[in-house]
Structure 1
């Protein structure tokens, strides 16, 4: 015999009216005490504070902003181009914007060529002063860092997203530990190689992007120290373009007949896969790349890619928005909630 599930009644939020009733004072008196305005006797203020403590009253920040007719507007600066992960990230930013509406906060999206330091810095320098905060896929370049610092000086909080500029005065970096991601890629290729000797090609999106340089550093660090039978070579920079990634892969296949593996540091997995298939090397060369997209999922299922190192774009979009909103409202940040983890996907554990 089944029994109906008894659901607890929702706990009602304690209101200012409840505090006033408990303290035996008017609503206006409670408001004056909470906002530290004069005109309340010390004993009365103490009675109100005691009622607040007994009832566990917590101010409703959204209601307070509504009463003050206060809103926040954030700008998310995302890359131009055909990077599928960035398009997914943009979709998640849009979904986050829907949530923020209920918090009386709004998101605008600005597309910029983040590989171009001058273009990115110019976009940052020209941002409307009405913005309360900015989330930017950053380029670690002196002019970009200066532009970030200028925004902070003007009272606009800055969060770096996916790629960091750590010496700038940004509020926080939202993204994975990219050195650890590169080390992970080296471990995967090293173990998958089964002791075969040869070359592992590294294709970077741009060595001007901090996340790409950190991934490459972590990769070569582990490969050189733990897998001496493998030699890493830099094939070049693809600028996250699939056609350029294909050309680089074709060149490295031709130049290194002993090629054991390819680590694609950025986007452009479609180009790498096309070159491997075209050369008949899809089953012979270990291929590890980043970000689970419809394309990389298909390559895993077909056995062209061996592993994908993933970062959750939805988590990143929500985290950046939460951090900017918390900064504006003075609310605490839960550090563990905002930590972006590294996922490893192979064909057999695809979600």
Structure 2
């Protein structure tokens, strides 16, 4: 039989009411009493039934995803999965909402976070650049009692924050390995395109990509990162210039999560079908490019898993529990035309 709260009260030498106050983090309990109850929990192996406790208290989880204002198909896929999760988690007393309010300005993001407190929300998943301003504002938000998850864009293993997403260095290294194999080791140059190199995930993908190419495929040279800033006219112009200036381009790597503008620009030059091409994220556009033979591989992370994992991590933190690491690990998926199958969620 699992130990009950009565067993816990007896083991700690306190009343049931005191046990309830300690378990729910209420004030009015001496430090020594809290220590006695926690010691008894360890001693008798007491495990709290979180669901029953939340039901008894009428506890609800108020969770919010803070997303960029601008984005394309990958961001839209995330929004769809968030709305889907909102319905799925509602019976578990979990309110899930989202706002597309973040600009590229770290000061704007910091100001927004400064206006959020535990009276507004219990936990936030934030998809933002990992700048010092955003990091400091996030730490202050956590100090005010709001749980935080870095969502998609972040740093695995950072001590202060939970992170939900793939290991982006490993994802970039995977792209480097595939590109090296596809191009048979060279010789030639690789065109590398990103929406911005101010985003940590893009920087880490580039680092992983370069590490593999430099070490294992010295015949291939990755060109400096071309930044599109999400501007179609700029992208078409600079892509055309790169192909005009470098006649020995043999591969294209689009390392950002939003790929449509870059791939359309390359296709407009007539060069895409002649190149080995790798991109990130499973979107409707990328799927079609893969089926049409314009892309050779997609390196993806499942948006449904991303959203559900962020919710589970935030709920665990709200309950004072450690998340189950094995359940929340986001896998790097490699898609080619032959294994594309049906769209994953």
Q: TM-score, normalised by structure 2?
A: 0.82
The offset of 1:342, in angstroms, is 0.1
* Structure 2: distance between partners of 1:93 and 1:81: 17
What residue number does 2:32 align with? none
Pick from 152, 162, 186: which aligns with 2:176?
Answer: 186
Q: Please identify, of 91-100 and 209-218, the stretch whose mean Cα deviation from structure 2 is larger.
A: 91-100
What residue number does 1:284 align with? 274
Structure 1, unmatched stretches of 5+, are 1-13, 21-29, 39-48
Pick from 66, 72, 91: which aligns with 1:102?
Answer: 91
Q: Please identify, of 108-117 and 310-319, the stretch whose mean Cα deviation from structure 2 is larger.
A: 108-117
The answer to whether the 8 A contact 2:102-2:128 is kept is no
Deviations 1:33-54 (A, max 9, x none): 963899xxxxxxxxxx9xxx9x
Residue 300 (1) aligns with residue 290 (2): yes
* Structure 1: distance between partners of 2:297 and 2:277: 7
Q: From the CA coordinates, give the structure whose radius of gyration is larger.
A: 1
| Residue pairs, 1:45-64, within 5 angstroms | 59-64=48-53
Q: TM-score, normalised by structure 1?
A: 0.81
| Residue pairs, 1:232-251, within 5 angstroms | 232-240=222-230, 244-251=234-241
Q: Aligned Cα RMSD in Å?
A: 3.0
What residue number does 1:86 align with? 75
* Structure 2: distance between partners of 1:325 and 1:336: 16
What residue number does 1:124 align with? 113
The answer to whether the 8 A contact 1:83-1:240 is kept is no
* Structure 1: distance between partners of 2:156 and 2:67: 18
What residue number does 2:138 align with? 148
Q: Please identify, of 216-225 and 59-68, the stretch whose mean Cα deviation from structure 2 is larger.
A: 59-68
Q: 1:346 to 1:167 in 2, by over 3 A?
A: closer
Count of residue pairs brought into register by the alignment? 315
The offset of 1:252, in angstroms, is 1.7
Q: Please identify, of 112-121 and 205-214, the stretch whose mean Cα deviation from structure 2 is larger.
A: 112-121
Three-state SS of the structure 1 residue aligned to 2:326 is coil
Pick from 50, 70, 73: which aligns with 2:59?
Answer: 70
The offset of 1:117, in angstroms, is 1.2
Three-state SS of the structure 2 residue aligned to 1:140 is coil
